[in-house]
Amino acid sequence: MFKVKDGDVLAKRLGAIVVGLFEDDKKPDGIVREIDKKLDGYLVELLAEKQLSSGFKKVYKIHTFGKLESKVIYFVGLGKKAELTFERVREAFAVVSKNLTKDEQVEVAVALDTFLTEEKNNQVFAKALAEAFVLTSYRTETYKQKQAEQKSLEKVVVYTSLDEDAVEEALIVGESFGAGTNFARALVNAPGNYMTPTDLAVKAKEIADRYGMEYSVLEKEEMEKLGMGALLAVAKGSDQPPKMIVLKYRGKEKWENVLSFVGKGLTFDAGGISIKPAANMHEMKMDMGGAASVLGAMEVIGALKPDVNVMAVIPSSENLINGSALKPGDVITSLSGRTIEVRNTDAEGRLILADAVTYAKQLGADYIVDVATLTGAVIVALAGITTGAITNDEDLMEDVLVAAGEAGEYLWRLPNFDPYKEMLRSSDVADLNNSPGREGGSITAGLFIGEFAEDTPWVHLDIAGTAWSKSESVFGPKGGTGAMVRTLATLARNF
């Protein structure tokens, strides 16, 4: 989709050209000045009359009427140079990409140098370009008999005076990050009857086959032999068989220093006997958002091949109701041997993750990052804007925070003080209580998982608010967002 070239973009016969405008530039300069000359001063006139703006994310389409080789030029406002960041330039590219798609442009040239500043690491803006164009290309799959056809961008030629190899590498990274995020979005948006635990295992195997990763899956009988009582307890309420899915990417000769991503794969969550309200329950197909993020990250890792060992562990089940379903007050025994009193069957994600974290350690995980749509409480605390995090290891937490910053994803650390941990031990009949109450709900839920990480460096990411958007965003339609795919992939590349 992306190609890098040096030379005069105005001399090329292309469908459209994309040019950036800064507020700081009071007079046209560089390529903008050249365009103005060819258009007989028309740009200066438009700027003076405020019919063309360099305000952040403002997009204007100018027809060239045969005075340039390209038929149309899209100008996108970038605001002030001092305020330009990776995230802001990525948003600007996203806005113009949406305009190009709406106008059914299939081939476009981007004058990358018009988006650059002297103070910034400019190659990273090429990554932002590719990421934004790929993210905005995503369309939610529908199952309607008649579907509207829409053309999409097929070719983006990036013109720049920067080192071509460096820009090309940045474009490849950005394109991979966007593709991995879109992969996760598609998994989350799939209806529950199209995305069962078995279907999720098939999607994981597709990644393994595509990139030569090791793949394995534990079936119910094997889980019973191993004693995965927590995952099996949740699965009892469903006719769909549970799966424990494992992918291994070997970036080093020896299987050591293993970074493990553990993703909650609850393919539909009705809450079990502690049933959820009917309103908006259809959205609970998104409760496997953690698994989707992990698989999206593995897609990126497979494409970019970093020098690191990464293992994905995904416990997958449904949380429904039948005559065998888990009941409030039941006591179950996890793979670790710890017993758990179930006070709320809708606090099931932490149960399946408990066995997954223990299993990841048995498979050699040296570092664990779990990702889960875990609690409604995190939405109350942080809205649908920021992912909540909790940890038992300062160094790993810092690595994750740095990765999130580089990826442009918001992340906020929650406390892990001992009094919160004591709340988990409030059961009279078991080692742990899976739902000690509403107060500090996101914290206690995360720390419940941490009980099974024990001394292994561990970070928990609660994406209940960020994995799903109820409205369209600058990067795509409502629904699955692919939250934390880019953070996990960045963490792996930096590890």
Q: pLDDT tens-digit profile of 250-264?
A: 999 999 999 999 999
More confident residue, 15 or 125: 125
Q: Mean pLDDT over residues 46-52, rounded?
A: 82
Name residue 232's amino acid. L
Q: Mean pLDDT over residues 289-298, rounded?
A: 98
pLDDT at residue 120, rounded to an integer: 61
Out of 131, 159, 187, a domain closes at 159
Examine the domain organization and report whether 106 and 218 are in the same domain.
Answer: no
Q: Is the pLDDT of residue 26 over 80?
A: no
In a domain, 489, yes or no: yes
Residue 207, CB-side half-sphere exposure with 13 Å CA sphere: 31
Q: Is the pLDDT of residue 378 over 90?
A: yes
Examine the domain organization and report whether 8 and 83 are in the same domain.
Answer: yes
Q: Mean pLDDT over residues 15-33, rounded?
A: 88
Paired tokens of 474: 């600058």
pTM of the model: 0.96
From the list 485, 247, 218, 494, the residue with the least C-alpha distance to 371 is 485
- Name residues whose C-beta falls within 8 Å of residue 445's C-beta, 6 or more positions apart in sequence: 347, 349, 350, 374, 375, 377, 462
Are 399 and 485 a contacting pair, CB within 8 Å? Answer: no
Q: Is the pLDDT of residue 314 over 90?
A: yes
pLDDT at residue 29, rounded to an integer: 82
Examine the domain organization and report whether 442 and 314 are in the same domain.
Answer: yes
Examine the domain organization and report whether 132 and 70 are in the same domain.
Answer: yes
As a whole number, the mean pLDDT across the chain is 95
How many domains, in total, are found in the chain? Answer: 2
Q: Mean pLDDT over residues 308-330, rounded?
A: 98
Least confident of 27-41, 83-97, 195-209, 413-427: 27-41
Examine the domain organization and report whether 381 and 473 are in the same domain.
Answer: yes
pLDDT at residue 119, rounded to an integer: 61
In a domain, 174, yes or no: no
pLDDT bin (cut points 50, 70, 90) of residue 7 is confident
Examine the domain organization and report whether 139 and 187 are in the same domain.
Answer: no
Q: Is the pLDDT of residue 310 over 90?
A: yes
Q: Mean pLDDT over residues 480-485, rounded?
A: 98
Residue range 401-420, pLDDT digits in tens:
999 999 999 999 999 999 99
Q: Mean pLDDT over residues 179-203, rounded?
A: 98
Q: Is the pLDDT of residue 247 over 80?
A: yes
Active site residue 343: no
pLDDT bin (cut points 50, 70, 90) of residue 430 is very high
Active site residue 350: yes
- Chain Cα centroid distance, residue 171: 18
* Catalytic-role residue among 248, 350, 361, 486: 350
Which residues span the domain enclosing 104? Answer: 2-159
CATH number at residue 365: 3.40.630.10
Examine the domain organization and report whether 192 and 233 are in the same domain.
Answer: yes
Q: Is the pLDDT of residue 149 over 80?
A: no
* Ramachandran area for residue 461 (φ above 0: left; ψ -120 to 50: alpha; else beta): beta
pLDDT at residue 415, rounded to an integer: 97
In a domain, 15, yes or no: yes
SS (H, E, C) the chain: CEEEECCCHHHCCCCEEEEEECCCCCCCCHHHHHHHHHCCCHHHHHHHCCCCCCCCCCEEEEECCCCCCCCEEEEEECCCHHHCCHHHHHHHHHHHHHHHHHCCCCEEEEEHHHHCCCCCCCHHHHHHHHHHHHHCCCCCCCCCCCCCCCCCCCEEEEECCCCHHHHHHHHHHHHHHHHHHHHHHHHHHCCCCCCCHHHHHHHHHHHHHHHCCEEEEECHHHHHHHCCHHHHHHHCCCCCCCEEEEEEEECCCCCCCCEEEEECEEEEECCCCCCCCCCCHHHHHHHHHHHHHHHHHHHHHHHHCCCCEEEEEEEEEEECCCCCCCCCCCEEECCCCCEEECCCCCCCHHHHHHHHHHHHHHCCCCEEEEEECCCCHHHHHHCCCCEEEEECCHHHHHHHHHHHHHHCCCEEECCCCHHHHHHCCCCCCCCEECCCCCCCHHHHHHHHHHHHHCCCCEEEEECCCCCEECCCECCECCEECCCCHHHHHHHHHHC
In a domain, 464, yes or no: yes
In a domain, 140, yes or no: yes
Examine the domain organization and report whether 50 and 191 are in the same domain.
Answer: no
- Name residues whose C-beta falls within 8 Å of residue 210's C-beta, 6 or more positions apart in sequence: 302
Q: Mean pLDDT over residues 423-429, rounded?
A: 96
Examine the domain organization and report whether 111 and 198 are in the same domain.
Answer: no
pLDDT at residue 47, rounded to an integer: 82
CATH number at residue 107: 3.40.220.10
φ, ψ at 381 (rounded to 5°): -75, -45
In a domain, 170, yes or no: no
Q: Mean pLDDT over residues 206-221, rounded?
A: 98
Between β-strands 214-218 and 243-250, what pairing exists: parallel, antiparallel or unpaired? antiparallel
pLDDT bin (cut points 50, 70, 90) of residue 153 is confident
Nearest-5° Cα angle at 437, 398 to 411: 20
In a domain, 164, yes or no: no
In a domain, 167, yes or no: no
Q: Mean pLDDT over residues 83-104, rounded?
A: 94
Examine the domain organization and report whether 354 and 444 are in the same domain.
Answer: yes
pLDDT at residue 151, rounded to an integer: 79
pLDDT at residue 261, rounded to an integer: 98
pLDDT at residue 121, rounded to an integer: 63
Q: Mean pLDDT over residues 450-457, rounded?
A: 98
Out of 128, 159, 190, a domain closes at 159
pLDDT at residue 41, rounded to an integer: 85
Examine the domain organization and report whether 116 and 264 are in the same domain.
Answer: no
Q: Is the pLDDT of residue 202 over 90?
A: yes
Task: Provide the percentage of residues in the chain whose pLDDT is more than 70.
Answer: 99
Are 264 and 353 a contacting pair, CB within 8 Å? Answer: yes
Out of 95, 125, 159, a domain closes at 159
Paired tokens of 150: 């829409």
* Catalytic-role residue among 81, 205, 220, 276: 276
Examine the domain organization and report whether 436 and 326 are in the same domain.
Answer: yes
